[in-house]
Amino acid sequence: AQSVTQLGSHVSVSEGALVLLRCNYSSSVPPYLFWYVQYPNQGLQLLLKYTSAATLVKGINGFEAEFKKSETSFHLTKPSAHMSDAAEYFCAVRGQRTGANSKLTFGKGITLSVRP
Indicate whether 94 belongs to the interface with other proteins (CB under 8 A).
Answer: yes
Indicate whether 22 belongs to the interface with other proteins (CB under 8 A).
Answer: no
Indicate whether 96 belongs to the interface with other proteins (CB under 8 A).
Answer: yes
From candidates 45, 55, 80, 113, binder to other proteins by CB under 8 A: 45
Indicate whether 108 belongs to the interface with other proteins (CB under 8 A).
Answer: yes
Of 9 and 14, which CB lies nearer to other proteins in the complex structure?
A: 9
Instruction: State the Cα–Cα distance between residues 63 and 78, nearest whole angstrom.
Output: 5
Q: How far apart are the first and last CA of the chain?
A: 41
Picking from 19, 14, 27, 20, the residue whose alpha carbon sits closest to that of residue 72 is 27
Three-state DSSP class for residue 112: strand
| Measured CA distances, 21 to 13, 29, 34, 36, 114 (Å) | 11, 24, 13, 12, 13
Indicate whether 5 belongs to the interface with other proteins (CB under 8 A).
Answer: no
Indicate whether 32 belongs to the interface with other proteins (CB under 8 A).
Answer: yes
Interacting residues with other proteins (CB under 8 A): 9, 32, 34, 36, 41-46, 49, 51, 90, 92, 94, 96-100, 102-109
